[in-house]
Amino acid sequence: MARTATISRKTNETQISLELNLDGGTYENKSGVGFFDHMLDHIGRHGKLGIKVSCKGDTQVDDHHSVEDIGIAFGLALKEALGDKRGIERYGSAAVPMDETLARVALDLSGRPSLVFRVEPESFSKYAVPIGAFDVQLVQEFFNAVANHAGMNLHIEVPWGSNNHHIAEGIFKAFGRALREAVKVTGTDIPSTKGVI
């Protein structure tokens, strides 16, 4: 059974098409935000997921609506592609070193949305120094949208790092690897004592 989903989402601010294949495929991301495409590619590569994103957004305003709405679409696609979650591992975690940075992600495909985003370096979390033209605050906005619409507990932690590009890249790589572990099919039961997730 194919674990795929296609989400189309249109608002006054964005027009998005997103295809997700949990069992692999190519990644081709055209969000209209160059740096963010690079980050989505990391989810595809390190998560071994097929991801195709096309977005026309009001980037003349800024990148916020495009990034957040792609997060919504990604979360919805993940939820749909997982179905009843029978046989999956459910939990995933990864620690990724990126030069001077360490990024850690742990997640639970529990059906309950919650994001803990703890990035200690002040350049990223407090002063929000941009990466080129990319507002680093949008990293948290993206993952908040994903967690809320996929229904996952998502914990993201960067205890140290100094380069904002490395911090963001480490987070997206670690998320991809943690997600790959969580969606892996290793059994036939629903991974919950409740019998449903």
pLDDT of residue 127: 67
What's the pLDDT score for residue 62? 93
Band (129; pLDDT cuts 50, 70, 90): confident
| Mean pLDDT confidence for 101-111 | 98
pLDDT of residue 130: 86
Structural domains present in the chain: 4-183 (3.30.230.40)
CB 63 within 8 A of CB 135: yes
φ/ψ of residue 3, rounded to 5: -105, 75
Neighbours of 34 (CB within 10 A): 12
116-132 burial string, b = 16+ CB within 10 Å, else e?
A: ebebebeebbeeeeebe
**Phi, then psi, of 190 in degrees rounded to 5:** -80, 125
Average pLDDT over residues 90-116: 98
Share of the chain above pLDDT 90, in %: 91
Q: What pLDDT, in 10s, does the model give residues 41-57?
A: 999 999 999 999 999 99
Examine the pLDDT at 126 and tell me if it is beyond 70.
no
